[in-house]
Structure 1
Amino acid sequence: MVESGAGAGDLLLHDFERILHDDPNIDEVGFLHPTQMDSLPLLGSNKSPYLWCSDHKLAISTHVLPDLYRAARQAHSKAATTSPSADAPALIMLHSKALLILCPDSFTAWNSRKKVLSADHNLTQLEAELQFCALILSYALKNESTWSHRRWVITKLAQSHQDMPQIIDKESVLVKQIAEKSKMNYRAWRHRCWLIPYMKPKQVLDELNKSIKWGELHVADNCCFHYRRTTAVKRTEEIPFTGSQKLIYCGRRNCGGMRCSSDATKGESPCGPIVGSSHSGGCNVCSAMRKPACQRRSPWQTSS
């Protein structure tokens, strides 16, 4: 059994931070009971019975969490309040990383990381910060502090004129994976909605197409339909309308179908298959939902 006290906590923190430094590609963290830790295979490089890391997976014994957390909090506080030095930013990033893995709601630690990243303007560090946020979201799927910090990092990358379409595609994949693990995850879908203004027109259409299948498999997930509505509104903003035209929604619950009508076209949509026709039987979005799965085709797709 580990000895309690500041000395034991410092030793645990040293081993913990060494693991984080040696394997920067850790993508999953688990907090295990000591009996579960005993069942893990022994590793030659593992010198601590309370910390285990293999194949980019990190396990921490719940038995040492209090001592480890106190040591990480004290180390971060000391690094953040000492006089500025050449090593201060690296120490702040190191200790805050350990602290946030143990307690993702530490606003002080997130703010200290923002200060370091803002002063350095290092694009590599910003991209690594996205990876770090994804690590925390692998077990704290609804942590608002982590989602908020992730949006801050993406804003910084956008200001640096990075490849936003590629970043958005990766974010879409991340949110989908998290939504599969955590149903009705409002924070994840809200993050996805926040990305819409950064999307190109083609990406908006792609997101609408992807959400069709999700809506069919998760009919009770209102977050998905809210996201569809937001993307549909974004798409209609990109369609030119004349003064005599207006946008008409289908009116059915959980449906994003719509059409634009005018006196000249007598209700026929001049915008093509992007918008559906609102008739007594419902729009083409509703019709696609009612068809058997083998016959369904996304109403947002153009016909070949």
Structure 2
Amino acid sequence: MNEDLVSGGIYSDLLNQFEIILDSDPLIDEVGFIHPSQFATLNAEAGSSLTTSDSNSLQCIDVANQENASFWVRDHKLGISTHVLLPLYKAAKHAFMSALVQHKVLENPLETSGDKSNLLQFSSSCNSIESKVMRHSRALILLSCDFGTAWNSRKLIVSKQQHMSTFIDELLFSGLVLSYSPKSEQAWCHRRWVIKMIAQKCSALEEIVRKESELVEQIAEV
């Protein structure tokens, strides 16, 4: 595949569209891969129950009605066309690896100036690159759930930030991966690690364990 198409062409645009969808609906709780022939059926089913007040559904239908549709989103469910899986994966991998290289450079600077303005600029650059790594790793993992480097990069950044909200987001994200790949070893390992980190910071571990048990039961019933 032409590298220019991956890094700056139509496949980059495809990745951008995918990531915008993920950003716009953080409550997506199920992912599926759909043959292009199924989009018409999904649109028909969605249209029969669509109301004019349901702006979120209207937006999703617009996405799915595009010619050669790539994505379908409604009621926090995301469908990805099997037709775009390979180019989307390659674009996500390229973007992630590029961001990861930048992150490693910032994590190991050759020189560190004590000037306050330089330190602030350096901190801002780190935050920006970390956001890119998290964003692109999310897309990549959803397309290749056992991509260990992507999971490890998330673990590195999350452990550095030590924000409870970020740990909760990681639980939700790993749950999303398990919605379509319930046997993903990387997703389960990441989830166990997140729970251990939360246990060190939060006394309400019983509630987390209860929800975890419910998730396991739901997956076992599938």
Using structure 2 for the length normalisation, give the TM-score: 0.77
- The one-character-per-residue Cα deviations of 1:71-119 (angstroms, maximum 9, x if unpaired) are 0000000111114323011111110000000001100000000011011
Residue 27 (str. 1) matches residue 29 (str. 2): yes
- The separation in 2 between residues aligned to 1:162 and 1:72, in whole angstroms, is 37
Larger radius of gyration: 1
Matched residue SS, 1:29: strand
Please give the residue correspondences for 1:8-157 in structure 2 after superposition, counting only pairs within 5 Å: 8-41=10-43, 44-45=58-59, 46-47=62-63, 48=66, 49-82=69-102, 83-84=105-106, 85=125, 86-157=127-198
Tell me the equivalent position of 1:297. Answer: none
SS at match of 2:176: helix
Give structure 1 stretches of 5+ with no counterpart. 182-304
Rounded Cα–Cα distance in structure 2 between residues aligned with 1:101 and 1:162: 31
* Unaligned 5+ runs, structure 2: 48-56, 107-124
Number of residue pairs aligned between Structure 1 and Structure 2: 178
Query: Which runs of at least 4 in structure 1 moved beyond 4 Å after TM superposition?
Result: none
How far apart in 1 are the matches of 2:219 and 2:58?
Answer: 33
For residue 162 of structure 1, report the CA deviation from its aligned partner.
3.6
Distance in 2 (CA, whole Å) between partners of 1:24 and 1:162 is 26
Structure 2 counterpart SS, 1:59: strand
Greater shift in the superposed pair: 45-54 or 73-82:
45-54
Aligned to 2:180, the other structure's residue is in SS state coil
Q: Render the CA deviation track for 1:119-172: whole Å, top value 9, x for unaligned.
A: 100100100110111101011011111000000000100111341100010011
Partners of 1:29 and 1:59 within 8 A in 2: yes
Provide the alpha-carbon RMSD of the alignment. 1.5
Supply the distance in 1 between the matched residues of 2:58 and 2:212 (Cα, whole angstroms): 36
Partner Cα separation in structure 2 for residue 57 and residue 105 of structure 1: 21
